[in-house]
Amino acid sequence: MIEKRVKAVNAKRIKASDIRALARIFQDEYSRLLQMHEEDINKGKKEKYVDKPKLNSDVTTKDGVEYSSDSMELFESGGILDNKVVTELSLRLSYALKEARIWVHIADSQLARYQSFIQIEGNDSTWVHGTFSKLTECVDSWEKQDAKLKRFRWPISFFAAIVAGFSVGWLFTIPLRGAEEGSQSNDAIASIFVFISLITAMIVLFFLPDYLNKLWPDIEIVPVLEHERKLDKRRKYLWIVVSEVDPIIRTG
């Protein structure tokens, strides 16, 4: 009987150290299965031709290059994680004799199309449960994606649209209101004000929700290279704007 467990990975901000911790679990489990395999061969419980445990890893980077290895070398210090922008990665471990398979796939939500998950199966329920617990504990320890503004993007966008619409409409009609009396009717100025305000508000509502959504992707693989941390910089600037505007709104 095969037991299978699957867990989706959501709302995580994943650093290189997190990926290396995950790779160590795979390496340790591979070493343990390989030792069991060799001990059984030495005891005559298995033939030498029986397949050994297999370990594989794949990494795809932002420049479209794919790397594959039959070890965890892709995640070593000074390697790809430290010098490239990683969009997705897979770690796989299989052992045919126990019908055991572990597969962890992590994909940056903004840069890759696929989902992130943990999947494990095997004919030994104790092994499946124990290994699954190790992997989930590791993943659960990763930083949670802090997406307060993303969760409230529609209320924020509506509010921003009202403020922007009113402000732009007001600025555009200042010259008209400052003209000589009788040169423009109040109705005409009001119509221009409403038109400009509505257009501005619609533009804000069209772009801002999507922009906030992309600022906090569900799964974010954080680049080690400082100049590639563009999302961090954009979020920093946004929080500066929010921190400056919030006191004005509260006191207004």
pTM for the predicted model, two decimal places: 0.76
pLDDT at site 242: 62
Domain that holds residue 62: 3-144
Does the structure show a pLDDT above 80 at 40?
no
- 208 and 89 both lie in a single domain: no
- Please tell me the distance from the alpha carbon of residue 113 to that of residue 234, in angstroms, as a whole number: 22
Which residues, 6 or more positions from 222, have their beta carbon under 8 angstroms from its beta carbon?
13, 14, 15, 16, 229, 232
Does the structure show a pLDDT above 90 at 61?
yes
Q: Which one of 89, 121, 144 terminates a domain?
A: 144
* Number of domains the chain is built from: 2
- 82 and 185 both lie in a single domain: no
Does the structure show a pLDDT above 60 at 183?
no
Higher pLDDT, 81 or 111: 81
- 23 and 117 both lie in a single domain: yes
pLDDT at site 48: 55
Higher pLDDT, 18 or 211: 18
pLDDT at site 54: 93
pLDDT at site 244: 56
Supply 121's token pair: 């199966």
pLDDT at site 17: 94
pLDDT at site 142: 95
Query: At 44, is the pLDDT very low, low, confident or very high (cuts 50, 70, 90)?
Result: low
- 179 and 193 both lie in a single domain: yes
Question: Any idea what the Cα angle at residue 145 is, between residues 141 and 146, rounded to 5°?
Answer: 120
Question: Residue 114's domain is classified under what CATH number?
Answer: 3.30.310
pLDDT at site 118: 96
Mean pLDDT of 192-213: 86
Question: Any idea what the Cα angle at residue 217 is, between residues 213 and 221, rounded to 5°?
Answer: 155
Listed range (72-81, 87-96, 235-244) with the worst mean pLDDT: 235-244
Query: At 39, is the pLDDT very low, low, confident or very high (cuts 50, 70, 90)?
Result: confident
Does the structure show a pLDDT above 70 at 23?
yes
pLDDT at site 152: 79
Query: At 175, is the pLDDT very low, low, confident or very high (cuts 50, 70, 90)?
Result: confident
pLDDT at site 250: 52
pLDDT at site 1: 85
- 98 and 138 both lie in a single domain: yes
- 8 and 116 both lie in a single domain: yes
Does the structure show a pLDDT above 70 at 19?
yes
pLDDT at site 85: 92
- Please tell me the distance from the alpha carbon of residue 169 to that of residue 195, in angstroms, as a whole number: 8
Listed range (47-51, 128-132, 141-145, 203-207) with the worst mean pLDDT: 47-51
- 158 and 131 both lie in a single domain: no
Q: Which one of 129, 144, 159 terminates a domain?
A: 144
- 97 and 178 both lie in a single domain: no
The whole-chain average pLDDT of the chain stands at: 83
Q: Which one of 144, 169, 203 terminates a domain?
A: 144
- 27 and 44 both lie in a single domain: yes
- 52 and 156 both lie in a single domain: no
- 115 and 12 both lie in a single domain: yes
